Every structure is written in structure tokens, then in C-alpha cells.
């Protein structure tokens, strides 16, 4: 993410300062959830006139389950339908066939007090979705990332094979 921001000539620190208050709300990533979400403020004009938005990122197949919409090539919000879901599946499968792991990014404009005044306090175990994470999201994009093999892994695998 930081590399992508740098390529776009954006400052991560400036974005954090503008959109994350001292007590910002984050639903942490866990292996069960396979996603994380953060509530940001100072979003400008939003769909519901409330200045907060929640952003989600994580495993594509998990994030897409919460999406009802997507942004088209003209940045217009469109309803997800079977045809678009088929295209999304093709993209994910194409990335996977090229040994890429896919991550999806989505957002949802919040209504005031949606999910409670604090937009639903995080589950302390981080094991389930919070009310504001279930649906109504707009898919922004799917990216493919390559996990680089750490230096010690080939030797460890060889050692296991020799055992």
C-alpha cells in the first residue's frame, strides 16, 4: 500500500493526519476474518451526508461477499450482478494462474450511528464480522500481489525433504 501511494505521489502521513483521529475505529485482520476495516473521517461529501466512511481490504473472496456495488470505469457506482461477478471471478482466477494472491479493496459510506454510535465496537477476538461490515460495500479494485519467498525458506524445505 505504501509503495502504491508513493507511486501516486501521495503522502501516507498526510492521509493519516487528515482521515484518522486519535480514537479511530479499526476492525483488525485475523486469519478467520481474512479482512480488516477502518473507519475514516473528513471524507467530504458522502452518499448519506455523514462525514465517515469505512474502508475494507482483504482476501478477494471475503471482501466481495460484502459488496453490493462496484465502481465502473467512469467511477460511477453500479449494482453488482451475475455478469460482473463472472468477470471478477475470471480476474481472480487469471491472477491465481499467474501465482498472484488477490486482495480486494472496498468502501461504504456510513450513516450516522450505523452499527451504533461507535459503528460497532470490535469483536475482542476478531473472529466475526461486525454489523457495519456485512453488506452495502462498493468494490474499488482487485490487485494481485506476489509473495516473495524469504531467503531461509528453500533451505528449510530442503531440510524437511531430506528428513
**Rounded Cα distance, 137 and 68, in Å:** 6
Q: Tell me what pLDDT residue 121 has.
A: 53
By DSSP bridging, strand 67-71 and strand 137-145 are parallel
| DSSP-H helix ranges across the chain | 2-7, 12-19, 60-63, 82-97, 152-162
Nearest to 128 by CA among 53, 66, 40: 66
Q: Are 34 and 58 in contact (CB under 8 A)?
A: yes
Per residue in 110-163, pLDDT (tens digit) is: 887 776 555 565 555 555 557 778 889 999 999 998 877 788 888 888 888 888
Domains of the chain: 2-162 (3.40.1110.10)
**Rounded Cα distance, 137 and 135, in Å:** 6
Per residue in 36-87, pLDDT (tens digit) is: 888 887 777 778 888 888 889 999 999 999 999 999 999 899 999 999 999 9
R_g of the chain computed on alpha carbons: 18
Q: Are 52 and 39 in contact (CB under 8 A)?
A: yes
**Rounded Cα distance, 151 and 86, in Å:** 38
pTM, full prediction: 0.75
Amino acid at each position: 500500500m505504501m509503495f502504491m501511494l508513493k507511486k501516486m505521489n501521495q503522502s501516507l502521513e498526510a492521509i493519516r493526519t487528515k482521515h484518522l483521529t486519535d480514537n479511530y475505529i479499526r476492525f483488525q485482520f485475523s486469519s478467520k476474518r481474512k479482512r480488516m476495516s477502518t473507519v475514516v473521517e473528513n471524507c467530504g461529501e458522502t452518499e448519506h451526508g455523514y462525514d465517515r466512511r469505512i474502508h475494507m481490504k482483504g482476501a478477494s473472496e471475503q471482501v466481495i461477499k460484502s459488496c453490493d456495488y462496484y465502481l465502473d470505469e467512469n467511477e460511477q457506482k453500479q449494482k453488482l450482478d451475475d455478469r460482473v461477478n463472472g468477470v471478477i471471478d475470471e480476474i481472480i482466477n487469471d491472477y491465481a494462474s499467474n501465482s498472484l494472491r488477490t486482495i480486494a479493496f472496498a468502501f461504504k459510506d456510513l450513516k450516522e450511528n450505523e452499527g451504533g454510535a461507535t459503528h460497532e465496537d470490535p469483536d475482542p477476538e476478531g473472529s466475526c464480522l461486525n454489523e457495519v461490515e456485512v453488506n452495502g460495500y462498493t468494490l474499488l479494485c482487485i490487485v494481485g500481489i506476489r509473495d516473495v519467498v524469504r531467503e531461509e525458506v528453500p533451505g528449510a524445505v530442503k531440510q524437511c525433504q531430506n528428513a
